[in-house]
Copies of this chain bind each other. A is one copy, B any other.
Amino acid sequence: MSDNLEFTQEVQEIARISKALSHPVRVYILQKLSKMNSCCYSGDLIEELPIGRSTLSQHLKELKYAGLIQGEINPPYIKYCINRGNWEKAKKLLDDFLNDNQSGDFSCYETKTVIHS
């Protein structure tokens, strides 16, 4: 893809956050961390997931890069938690995106054939 400048900041941000959420392992990690308001060690997670340590590390790195989690050094462990501030921002961004569909009339379902796939 070439010309990301054609897209608004908002559109690019939504795509960026969504990409971070686009893998089951990453969703699992975020769900765990956000649902329980808890933190996790990499070693805790690896026991619950069907992937190798280095692969988990990469997923954690991606989530960090996306700003959704943060790691705290707690030797010899690293404790991972949700990055609350960015999590709230992501929440708002996606929420607005998903809910901006209230107004106007429906002009969609007039024609005969509807194709779903």
Contact = CB atoms under 8 A, between A and B. Distances in A.
Contacts of A81: 108-109
Q: Is the interface of A mostly helix, strand, loop or mixed?
A: mixed
> Interface residues of A toward B: which range?
35 or more
Contacts of A100: 31, 34-35
A18 B100 CA distance: 17
A82 interface: yes
Interface in A75-117: 78-79, 81-83, 87, 90-91, 94-95, 97-101, 103-109, 111-117
- Copies of this chain, count: 2
A45 interface: no
A53 interface: no
Nearest to A103: B37
B95 A49 contact: no
A-B complex: 8 closest residue pairs judged by Cβ atoms: A37-B104, A81-B108, A18-B21, A19-B22, A34-B101, A3-B50, A18-B22, A91-B98
Given A31-B100, A36-B104, 16 more contacts: A15-B22, A18-B22, A19-B19, A21-B22, A35-B100, A35-B101, A37-B105, A37-B107, A38-B107, A70-B114, A70-B115, A71-B114, A73-B112, A83-B116, A90-B98, A91-B99
